[in-house]
């Protein structure tokens, strides 16, 4: 952890200070937890009241607001905050352990300079790792896997044979990459396993969460596009193509042979059925079930997922179904009475 003056931090993010720019900042925290010497940020209106009373020394905000703290005005407060947290705390440091004698590395495997390979790692035949990769304990790297430079693979993650991984890829713990797709030909009531001969391709700057399960393709590759970030416990089906710069929040499931464009955001527990096409810049609300192609730029929610502008109101009306049913019955009764005035 490092200390910086507010002036230095403002220069770092290209922001403007309202208040005392000689303050020394040594850490970052949330609006309600930050104390003197710490910086925080404001970007969710829900927390506006806390801005006024925060004990933080500095709040980063998009525009001047009333606050007990000095302000650092930055166009994109959360991005500025990210830069400052990196500057003060840095990312996780990886011990420079070299190649552990307790790892099992096939003699045909190639490791670039600066790799750290921890105990109980298995690296199989013809695997190739670039420079400066951090391979944590218990990781399995299968035959013919290719990994670029500066990748981090956290403990007990399993990378199956033939997986192709770019540079600066991060895979959190206990993930499975490239296991067999769920592919069976059912004949006379028996499910026959079909060899899964496609690969998984993780492009540059991808991050994969803990416990994810990314199936290899049956015939062509499963692809996670450049810069896409996949949360914990996400399951991706065989042959699915996730475009670049997507965000898939924890517990999302995307079935096989689906295609997602770029900058798609899938909320928590969203499910996408197989063989459909989700356009660019699509946003899908948490828990939605996507069953049809989705045009570029759409925001959808619900199961089945429909346009958010309609869906939010429509789904909230389910609560009134008993009432609606009763009213329809009443209307029917009254109308019947009117219809037969002679009785």
Binding flag, residue 342, a second copy (CB under 8 A): no
Among 132, 144, 179, 299, binds a second copy (CB under 8 A): 179
Q: Which positions from 281 through 320 interact with a second copy, judged by CB under 8 A?
A: 286-287, 289, 291, 302-304, 306, 310-311, 313-320
User: If residue 147 lies in a helix (H) or strand (E), which one and from where to where?
Assistant: strand 146-147
Binding flag, residue 343, a second copy (CB under 8 A): no
Among 3, 7, 30, 53, binds a second copy (CB under 8 A): 30
Binding flag, residue 42, a second copy (CB under 8 A): no
Cα gap 2→25, rounded to integer Å: 9
Helices in the chain by DSSP H: which ranges?
6-13, 48-53, 77-88, 308-316, 321-339
Of 118, 238, 245, 262, which is the active-site residue? 238
Binding flag, residue 50, a second copy (CB under 8 A): no
Q: Taking the alpha carbons of 121, 155, 266, 275 in that order, is the dihedral positive or negative?
A: positive
36, 24 contact by CB (below 8 A):
no
CB of 65 to a second copy, least distance (A): 19
Among 7, 36, 86, 98, binds a second copy (CB under 8 A): 86
Binding flag, residue 69, a second copy (CB under 8 A): no
Active site residue 238: yes
Among 160, 163, 203, 242, binds a second copy (CB under 8 A): 160
Q: How many CA atoms lie within 13 A of 306 on its CB side?
A: 9
Q: How many CA atoms lie within 13 A of 83 on its CB side?
A: 15
Binding flag, residue 49, a second copy (CB under 8 A): no
Q: Which positions from 195 through 254 interact with a second copy, judged by CB under 8 A?
A: 195, 197, 207, 209-213, 215, 219-220, 227, 229, 231-233, 235, 237, 239, 245, 247, 249-251, 253
203, 221 contact by CB (below 8 A):
no
Cα gap 235→256, rounded to integer Å: 10
Contact letters (x/-) for a second copy, 88-117, by CB under 8 A?
A: -xxxx--x----x-x-x-------------
Cα gap 163→143, rounded to integer Å: 9
Please identify every residue annotated as catalytic. Answer: 238
């Amino acid at each position: 952890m490092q200390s910086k003056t507010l002036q230095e931090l403002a220069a770092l993010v290209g922001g403007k200070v309202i208040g005392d720019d000689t303050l020394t900042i040594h850490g970052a925290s949330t609006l309600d937890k930050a104390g003197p010497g710490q910086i925080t940020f404001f970007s969710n209106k829900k927390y506006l009241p806390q801005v006024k009373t925060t004990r933080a020394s500095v709040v980063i905000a998009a525009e001047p607001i009333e606050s007990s703290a000095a302000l650092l005005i930055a166009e994109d407060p959360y991005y500025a905050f990210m830069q400052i947290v990196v500057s003060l705390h840095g990312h996780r440091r990886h011990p420079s352990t070299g190649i552990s004698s307790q790892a099992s590395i096939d003699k045909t495997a190639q490791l670039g300079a600066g790799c750290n390979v921890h105990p109980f790692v298995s690296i199989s035949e013809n695997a190739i790792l670039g420079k400066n990769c951090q391979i944590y304990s218990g990781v399995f790297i299968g035959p013919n896997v290719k990994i670029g430079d500066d990748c981090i693979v956290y403990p007990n993650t399993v990378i199956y044979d033939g997986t192709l991984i770019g540079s600066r890829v991060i895979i959190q713990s206990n993930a499975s990459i490239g296991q067999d797709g769920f592919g069976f030909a059912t004949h006379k009531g028996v499910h026959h396993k079909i060899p899964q001969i496609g690969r998984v391709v993780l492009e540059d700057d991808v991050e994969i969460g803990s416990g994810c399960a990314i199936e290899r393709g049956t015939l062509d590759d499963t692809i996670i596009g450049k810069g896409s970030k996949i949360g914990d416990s996400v399951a991706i089906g065989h042959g699915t193509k996730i475009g670049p710069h997507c965000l898939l929040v924890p517990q999302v499931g995307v079935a096989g042979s689906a295609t997602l464009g770029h900058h798609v955001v899938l909320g928590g527990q969203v499910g996408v059925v197989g063989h459909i096409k989700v356009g660019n810049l699509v946003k899908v609300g948490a828990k939605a079930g996507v069953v049809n192609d989705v045009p570029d730029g759409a925001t959808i929610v619900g199961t089945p997922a429909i346009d958010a502008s309609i869906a939010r109101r429509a789904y909230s009306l389910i609560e009134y179904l008993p009432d609606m049913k009763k009213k329809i019955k009443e209307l029917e009764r009254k109308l019947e009475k009117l219809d037969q005035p002679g009785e």
